[in-house]
Amino acid sequence: MLCLTAEGCAVQSAPGCRDRAFGRRICLATFVEGSLTVRSRRGVLAASVCLLAVPVALLFQLIVGSGAEMVLHLVGGVGFILTAFAVFDFEPPRWLPWVGCLSIGAFGVTFLLQGISQLMHIDWLTYLAFQILGQQVEALSADVFLVWCSATVLLMSHGKVKLFGICVMALAVGAEIYSNVVRYFGSGAGGISPLLKLVLLLPFVWLLLESSKKIPLPEGAKKA
């Protein structure tokens, strides 16, 4: 057991206690074992799946010789949908989690349908996933999700993770603005560097760090 008082330890044999001047004791870095948990397990899982989408797709391409885009859409789609549930583990204003949930949920559904259409080769599904959702929903939902990330970084994050989040969101928002400008002036997706697209995964690095933060267990969980 950890003790934060400078007058004496509740348990004299507690590890970390040592004698100070005038016979006083102080306990160093104290907490009850098992009293901390990660902020969002769903966030850790979702961010991990999203960040693994690219290396898994590249590995699949090396092994099979094709299909990297399909795997990227399938794995990424699952990760984005998981993220839609993870946003409720944070506690900003009540309306904000719904912004994140609906935006990244729509983005995830679009990605997942694109992957399924590439796997099944169904004409109507391909048209729905790429021509309708891919053209009208995908970009807008990604932009709105970046709004949620930016707001959560500013309102909820703290310390070094917050500073990292601000830098990451500045890069991601800048990359998204540049991508929208390129598309608007007719260069199309082919005019956007793949490396620039990878910058849009940086918010999930912040999400992983933020979700991994240690927080005290709720009282009910401690008693259980």
Query: What does the mean pLDDT of the chain come to?
Result: 82
Q: How large is the average pLDDT for residues 27-41? A: 62
pLDDT given at position 181: 84
Q: How confident is the model at residue 207 (pLDDT cuts 50, 70, 90)?
A: very high
Interval 96-106: pLDDT, tens: 899 999 999 99
> What is the rounded end-to-end Cα distance, in angstroms, of the chain?
19
pLDDT of residue 10: 40
Q: What is the pLDDT of residues 16-27, one digit of tens each?
A: 444 443 344 333
Q: Angle 68-86/202-211 helices, nearest 10 degrees?
A: 40
Task: Over range 195-209, report the average pLDDT.
Answer: 90
Average pLDDT value for residue range 44-53: 97
How many beta carbons lie within 10 A of that of residue 37, not counting itself?
Answer: 14
Residues 92, 124: Cα–Cα separation, whole Å = 40
Report d(CA 105, CA 126) in Å as an integer.
Answer: 19
What is the pLDDT at residue 164? 97
The arithmetic mean of pLDDT across residues 188-207, rounded, is 78
Largest CA distance in the chain: 82
| CB-based contacts of 179-185 (< 8 A; 24+ apart in sequence) | 180/139, 180/143, 183/139
What is the per-residue pLDDT for 90? Answer: 86
Q: What angle do CA 73, 79, 85 make, to 5 degrees?
A: 135
Which pLDDT belongs to residue 22? 35
